Structures are given as C-alpha cells and as structure tokens.
Amino acid sequence: MLLIPCPYCGEREESEFHQGGEAHIERPKDPNKMTDEEWADYLFFRDNRKGVYLERWVHRHGCRRWFNVARDTATNQIVAVYKMGSKPPKSITSRVTMK
C-alpha cells in the first residue's frame, strides 16, 4: 500500500486514490491532421518506465482533485508531487527522460 501525499489533503493511503496512467500526454489539437502512427502513439503507446515515472492520480475518496506524481516504479518511492498543468520539478527532471 502506497502512502500518497495529496497536494491538497496531505498523506493518505493508496486505497483512497485512483491512478490515471501516464502524465503529460496531451490530447492532440487536430486529430484529423495526424498520421495513423501519431494517433496510435497518442492512444496506445506508453513510456511504462522502470525507474522514475510521471503519472496522474485522483484523490477519488477525498478531495476528488487530480495531480501528478513522480514515482520510482522499481522501489515505489514517491519522488515528487506537483499540480496538474505544471511541469515536473527541476530536481527530478535529470532522473526522468521525457519523451
């Protein structure tokens, strides 16, 4: 069980939350202009990284707000938590290779 520091409520147990997959995947502005490969990459292809991984969580049984988490998927250590719409903190970008 993870202990997740919600940026709005503080540390709570994982069972209060729901993970929403990889973070920073933007919905394409004009899907009609994309190739099939680009569309497939947006829909299905994922980083699925072993190591520091950027993911979205929602505090489903709490404040119901979404936020981003940087977590090491090999050790389950949470490295950083930051709000939706913001970029990952500089301290961790060296540990994450953004695609």
Partner 1 sequence: MVQHMGKYSIFSLIRNALAYHEGWERAWRSREPQGEYDVIIIGGGGHGLATAFYLAKEHGITNVAVIEKGWLGGGNTGRNTTIIRSNYLWDESASLYEKSLQLYESLSQELNFNIMLSQRGVLNLAHNLHDLRELERRVNANLMNGIDSEILDTKSVKNFVPIINTDPNSRYPILGASLQRRGGTARHDAVAWGFARGADERGVDIIQQCEVTAIKQSRGKVTGVETTKGLIKAKKVGVVVAGHSSELARMAGFRLPLNSYPLQALVTEPVKPVLDTVVMSNAVHVYVSQSDKGELVIGAGIDGAHGYSQRGSLHVIEGQLGALCELFPITSRLRMMRQWGGIVDTCPDASPIIGKTPVDGLFINCGWGTGGFKATPGSGWVFAHTLATGEPHALNAAFTLDRFTSGFLIDEHGAAAVAH
List of residues contacting partner 1 (CB under 8 A): 1-2, 13-15, 17-19, 21, 36-37, 39-41, 43-50, 53, 55, 57, 71, 73-76, 99
| In the complex, minimum distance from the CB of residue 91 to partner 1, in angstroms, rounded to a whole number | 21
What CA–CA distance (Å, rounded) separates 72 from 85?
21
- What Rg, from alpha-carbon coordinates, does the chain have? 15
| Cβ pair 46, 19 in contact under 8 A | no
The residues that bridge with 72 in the sheet, in sequence order, are 52
| Cβ closest to partner 1, residue 75 vs residue 91 | 75
| Cβ pair 11, 69 in contact under 8 A | no
| Cβ closest to partner 1, residue 59 vs residue 71 | 71
Whose structure tokens read 């929403």? 20
| In the complex, minimum distance from the CB of residue 25 to partner 1, in angstroms, rounded to a whole number | 12
| In the complex, minimum distance from the CB of residue 17 to partner 1, in angstroms, rounded to a whole number | 8
